[in-house]
Structure 1
Amino acid sequence: MSADKVKEVAREEFEQARVLTRDAVRSGAYMYPIKGIVYFCTHRSLWKPLTEKLLPTISLGVGVTIFMFAVTYVPQAAVLTIFNGPLAIISTVLLVLSESSTIFSVISKNFLIDEALIDTFDGTLLSRNLTSLVSTERQVRSGNDPIGKLGKIAKKPFAKFTPKAIIRYFMYLPLNFIPVVGTVLFVILQGRKCGPTAHARYFQLKQMGKREKEEFIHERKAAYTSFGVPAVLLELVPLVGIFFSFTNTVGAALWAADMERKQATAPNLRNQAELANKAE
């Protein structure tokens, strides 16, 4: 391959990365995990799903994390030292935390907190006055408590952790052999998948088909990645990762609520513009 061709490819990749970064920053989606923390902490009515699952989930998280550090830290640190040198300590800690988080997510989201996360997402939407959206897939009772208003759910949106997702995760693991940059890329790739997953319930409430959902995600791929990266990093925090699973869910619901508000506003703006043009 000629030097000119290499430069051309490099320029194209750089330009694509620049555009994605610009779109990610403009979207403001990276702020929603933080907004989720603030909103959750200031709306006590949303705490019930978490408090009901807190003890068994924390016990699971502690057990998984301790086991992974006891069994896998030393051998993985030995391998990473060859590639990362002194930075291997940091890389290995992040790697083991990521592995622990993945195992914890597989078990907890399939067997412990799946319904609690759905209730948290729907309850947040109700607190933002989106009763009509939530009622498309579940019964909504009268009352002032957003969680207490949630009735029977039609079907669960959160798919089980698929073999493809597990395979993809372990394909990304070797990136951690690259000092610093590899770990950053690993988190970004994880975040790219985390973003759309956080809106699984929103896609169901909107009754999107597979093709419509894929197009929706593709148009917002930079925004979803910018949401997913901080969300992944928060859930990697030992022990309190379960708390951030719920606040990330709240953040995703707040983002969905803002999307709905913008979609409702856009037609009104178009109508106003048409009326103004006719008046002229």
Structure 2
Amino acid sequence: MSEQIKETAKEEVERVKALTKDAVRSGAYIYPFKGIAYFLSHRSIQKPLFNKLAPTITTGIGVTTFMFLFTYIPQLAVLAIFNGPIAVISTVLLVLSESSTIANLLSRGFFLEDALIDTFDGTLVSRGMTEMVSEGRHIKPGSDPMAKLGKLMKKPFARFTPQALVRYLMYLPLNFIPVIGTVLFVLLQGRKHGPSAHARYFQLKGMSGPQREKFVEERQAAYTSFGVPAVLLELVPIAGIFFAFTNAVGAALWAADLEQHGSTAPGLREQARKAE
């Protein structure tokens, strides 16, 4: 039994090492930061955020303030039992995560969904991916990438689903484990956030469910390495909504690079059409 445990542990360590190497090699963790730089340097792409700025800021401030006023002390008391002196930091991170999740749920559910899709599509158009974007919406003539975006022809995939909220609540207890628990919480959130950032990309490519699963599985390390910094950025109070837009830009930049480097199996769209 002891030998089996050692062998299992060794295999797990080797698996984590391999995934880490794949993540580093992919360079996907750079894209959330590329998204920030690209967003700030391209005024046209900023339009969807500015159009929704007032309600998003109000929602973020309101939710964060409420959470710290009414939930910080009770959660600190519980975490102090498990985390000791570092409970103060753990609780702050936990409340920020909760606030960000609630603010994102409210904002995306009521007024941000179309704006984020426009930001993703506009970034793709600015990178020369107009033909791919035309699979999901009408494209108008012109030079401004955002002005070229016409009416959506395909209903976008939900970016925040009830399943995602349930999964988030299931992961919350990890924060009771000092340091390691919080790290695991962020990693697990990032693992799911990465593929969801490319939901629109999968739709524009015409990928079926099994095709999406296979595509993500083959690039799981890369998607996790994208998702972790993206999640951490969106945890920032108030500014998290801004980073939701820059993450959409970063995800689109990554999608454009995958297309240009021929990393998405050119026949996928044709296969999807045949299946239909």
**TM interval, short-chain normalised:** over 0.9
1:76 corresponding residue in structure 2: 75
1:258 corresponding residue in structure 2: 257
Instruction: State yes or no: 1:147 paired with 2:184.
Output: no
Would you say the 8 A contact 1:110–1:160 is kept in 2? no
Unaligned stretches of 5+ in structure 1?
268-280
CA distance 1:111–1:265, change in 2 (3 Å): closer
The AA in structure 1 aligned to 2:182 is: T
Residues 1-280 of structure 1: pairs in structure 2 closer than 5 A: 2-159=1-158, 161-263=160-262
For 1:247 and 1:161, locate their aligned partners in 2 and report how far apart those are by CA, in whole Å: 17
The AA in structure 1 aligned to 2:262 is: Q
For 1:221 and 1:40, locate their aligned partners in 2 and report how far apart those are by CA, in whole Å: 26
The AA in structure 2 aligned to 1:185 is: L
Question: How many residues are treated as equivalent by the alignment?
Answer: 266
Q: In the TM superposition, what is the alpha-carbon distance from 1:57 to its structure 2 partner? A: 0.6
For 1:45 and 1:51, locate their aligned partners in 2 and report how far apart those are by CA, in whole Å: 10
RMSD: 1.4
2:271 corresponding residue in structure 1: none
Unaligned stretches of 5+ in structure 2?
267-276
Q: In the TM superposition, what is the alpha-carbon distance from 1:74 to its structure 2 partner? A: 0.3
For 2:161 and 2:40, locate their aligned partners in 1 and report how far apart those are by CA, in whole Å: 32
Would you say the 8 A contact 1:195–1:224 is kept in 2? yes
- SS across alignment from 2:261: helix
Would you say the 8 A contact 1:114–1:158 is kept in 2? no
Would you say the 8 A contact 1:124–1:253 is kept in 2? yes
For 1:167 and 1:135, locate their aligned partners in 2 and report how far apart those are by CA, in whole Å: 34
Would you say the 8 A contact 1:235–1:244 is kept in 2? yes
CA distance 1:57–1:265, change in 2 (3 Å): closer
Would you say the 8 A contact 2:139–2:150 is kept in 1? yes
Q: In the TM superposition, what is the alpha-carbon distance from 1:166 to its structure 2 partner? A: 1.8
2:272 corresponding residue in structure 1: none
What's the TM-score once normalised by structure 1's chain length? 0.93
For 2:118 and 2:46, locate their aligned partners in 1 and report how far apart those are by CA, in whole Å: 10
Structure exhibiting the larger radius of gyration computed from Cα positions: 1
For 2:61 and 2:155, locate their aligned partners in 1 and report how far apart those are by CA, in whole Å: 27
The AA in structure 2 aligned to 1:43 is: H
For 2:165 and 2:96, locate their aligned partners in 1 and report how far apart those are by CA, in whole Å: 16
Would you say the 8 A contact 1:202–1:256 is kept in 2? yes
- SS across alignment from 2:143: coil
1:276 corresponding residue in structure 2: none
For 2:160 and 2:216, locate their aligned partners in 1 and report how far apart those are by CA, in whole Å: 19
- SS across alignment from 2:262: helix
Q: In the TM superposition, what is the alpha-carbon distance from 1:155 to its structure 2 partner? A: 2.4
The AA in structure 1 aligned to 2:211 is: E
Would you say the 8 A contact 2:39–2:46 is kept in 1? yes
- SS across alignment from 1:47: helix
Between the aligned residues of both structures, percent identity stands at 67
